[in-house]
Chain A
Amino acid sequence: MAAPIRQSLFGVAKGWWRFEGLWAGSLGSRSLALAAAPSISGSPWRLLGAVCLQRPPLVSKPLTPLQEEMAALLQQIEVEGSLYSDHELRALDEAQQLAKKKADLYDEEGDERNILLVQDLEDAWEQKFLQFKPGARITEADKKNDRTSLNRKLDRNLVLLVKEKLGDQDVWMLPQAEWQPGETLRGTAERTLATLSGEFSASL
């Protein structure tokens, strides 16, 4: 969660779980170079490969007030430019018949046809909708602010960070591993992923 939202959001666009060991490694070695034996002969730099493990958002972000207004306006415009649907026609007919009945004040045999009113149908549909319980957008992990669960902040892109010691300080950073001669940086990243403890399923 250290990375700014905008930047990490577009790192997501490449896959469900994705790691990029290529450039993260050299940047890491640049900033955290320690006095250890150089892996590449002749160069003073230590090469580390890191993994950027992401959990992309499961849920869409809440709309801003402007977006809400615009959505409402678009809906209004669409309705104004549309034709009446079967349901609406039926409602109009029934309203006319009711008005007639009140005006004329005599019972027709039209009751046989209109046992089920439009209002009854709508009530039934409303009841059915209320029976369905959708998943919660704000989960329990959010409320407890449990930083180790995957179920938190469903509308954001989450990145895995690991706490490691560098010299005297404890630093939260991407999980990384030393590059070994003979493997590519991508191989280093895969090895890092394999050595992470915990239960998760991730793929390229």
Chain B
Amino acid sequence: MALAALGVSARALRSRSWLLGTWQTQIRDTHQRASLLFFWELIPMRAEPLRKKKKVDPKKDQAVKDRLKKRIRRLEKASQELIPIEDFITPVRLLDKARQRPPVELPFEESERRALLLKKWSLYKHQEHEKERDAIRTMLKSQQEALQELQLMSPELHAEATKRDLNLFPFEREGPDYTPPVSNYQPPEGRYHDITKVYTQVEFKR
């Protein structure tokens, strides 16, 4: 019984690795082996020889391919997912109540001041708009008058002047900033990792 137990333990200790590994395990637990009767334990007699690839495998591959095709067909049938507009989804951390400001109660003078300022501002913007409109009108009028004069003077020059200039569009221009550009500016060194999420919508064509 003790010998059998020893044999069992020896087998358990033996690793599944091939020749060298098995020899090492034999050398390690030789002190536990009781007698030379356990000689047959030394040589791994129970390993199976390597199996040759049978014809079952192509069928297996075929089955896998079929499964994939089925999955693809299911995806195609299901409605396409639309790309989410991240601006319309409020992040969960902003729904916290602790984030909300206490409601402000404006004193009477402050609300009056605001109302009067808004009225003045609307009047100002209206006047600004009128001025812009008049300026554009006068410029267009003077342009038309000049073209009329040119027409009277020489029709060929007028025809060439009224042709379209294809170099005008596309028109790109950067507006004025608050400060002018610094001539010898050294931007700070470093890399940045662009973590913008890019969504792709795959169109399934049949």
B147 located at the interface, meaning its Cβ lies under 8 Å from any Cβ of chain A in the complex: yes
- B99, B132, B135, B182: the one contacting A89 at CB < 8 Å is B99
Binary contact track A112-141/B, C-beta < 8 Å → 1, others 0: 000000000000000000000111110100
Tell me, rounded to whole Å, the shortest Cβ–Cβ distance linking B147 to chain A: 6
A74 to B173, CA, bound (A): 27
Are B180's CB and A137's CB within 8 A?
Answer: yes
A204 to B166, CA, bound (A): 11
A172 located at the interface, meaning its Cβ lies under 8 Å from any Cβ of chain B in the complex: no
A69 CB contacts on chain B under 8 angstroms: 117
B165 CB contacts on chain A under 8 angstroms: 204
Are A89's CB and B177's CB within 8 A?
Answer: no
- B139, B142, B160: the one contacting A186 at CB < 8 Å is B160
- B99, B124, B176, B179: the one contacting A83 at CB < 8 Å is B99
Are B153's CB and A45's CB within 8 A?
Answer: yes
B101 CB contacts on chain A under 8 angstroms: 80, 82-84
Known A11-B139, A22-B146: A58·B171 in contact at CB below 8 Å: no
Number of interface residues of B (CB under 8 A): 41
Closest to A58 in B: B180
Are B138's CB and A7's CB within 8 A?
Answer: yes
Are B176's CB and A155's CB within 8 A?
Answer: yes
Are B180's CB and A136's CB within 8 A?
Answer: yes
B196 located at the interface, meaning its Cβ lies under 8 Å from any Cβ of chain A in the complex: no
Are A15's CB and B153's CB within 8 A?
Answer: no
Are A185's CB and B160's CB within 8 A?
Answer: yes
Are A23's CB and B150's CB within 8 A?
Answer: yes
B136 CB contacts on chain A under 8 angstroms: 10
A27 located at the interface, meaning its Cβ lies under 8 Å from any Cβ of chain B in the complex: yes
Are B150's CB and A135's CB within 8 A?
Answer: no
A199 to B32, CA, bound (A): 100
B132 CB contacts on chain A under 8 angstroms: 10
Among B150, B165, B181: residue with most chain A CB under 10 A: B150
Known A23-B150, A27-B146, A89-B98: A14·B168 in contact at CB below 8 Å: yes
The A-B contact count (CB < 8 A) is 107
A26 CB contacts on chain B under 8 angstroms: 146, 149-150, 153
Binary contact track A45-89/B, C-beta < 8 Å → 1, others 0: 101000000001111100000100110010000001011100001
Instruction: Name B149-206 residues within 8 Å CB distance of A.
Output: 149-150, 153-154, 157, 160-161, 165, 167-168, 171, 173, 176-182
B98 CB contacts on chain A under 8 angstroms: 84, 89
Tell me, rounded to whole Å, the shortest Cβ–Cβ distance linking A55 to chain B: 12
Tell me, rounded to whole Å, the shortest Cβ–Cβ distance linking B101 to chain A: 6
A89 to B143, CA, bound (A): 59
Tell me, rounded to whole Å, the shortest Cβ–Cβ distance linking B143 to chain A: 6
Are A134's CB and B147's CB within 8 A?
Answer: no
Closest to A57 in B: B176
Binary contact track A87-102/B, C-beta < 8 Å → 1, others 0: 0010000000000000
A30 located at the interface, meaning its Cβ lies under 8 Å from any Cβ of chain B in the complex: yes
A202 located at the interface, meaning its Cβ lies under 8 Å from any Cβ of chain B in the complex: no
Among B124, B150, B157, B160: residue with most chain A CB under 10 A: B157
25 residue pairs of the A-B complex, CB under 8 angstroms, read A6-B131, A14-B171, A15-B168, A23-B146, A26-B153, A30-B149, A47-B154, A56-B176, A57-B176, A58-B176, A58-B181, A59-B176, A59-B177, A66-B121, A80-B101, A80-B104, A83-B94, A83-B101, A84-B101, A89-B98, A133-B182, A135-B179, A136-B179, A137-B178, A185-B160
Besides A66-B124, A185-B150, 8 other A-B contacts (C-beta < 8 A): A7-B139, A83-B100, A134-B179, A136-B179, A136-B180, A139-B180, A155-B176, A204-B167
What is A's interface to B at a CB cutoff of 8 Å? Answer: 6-7, 9-11, 14-16, 22-24, 26-27, 30, 40, 43, 45, 47, 56-60, 66, 69-70, 73, 80, 82-84, 89, 133-137, 139, 154-155, 184-186, 204
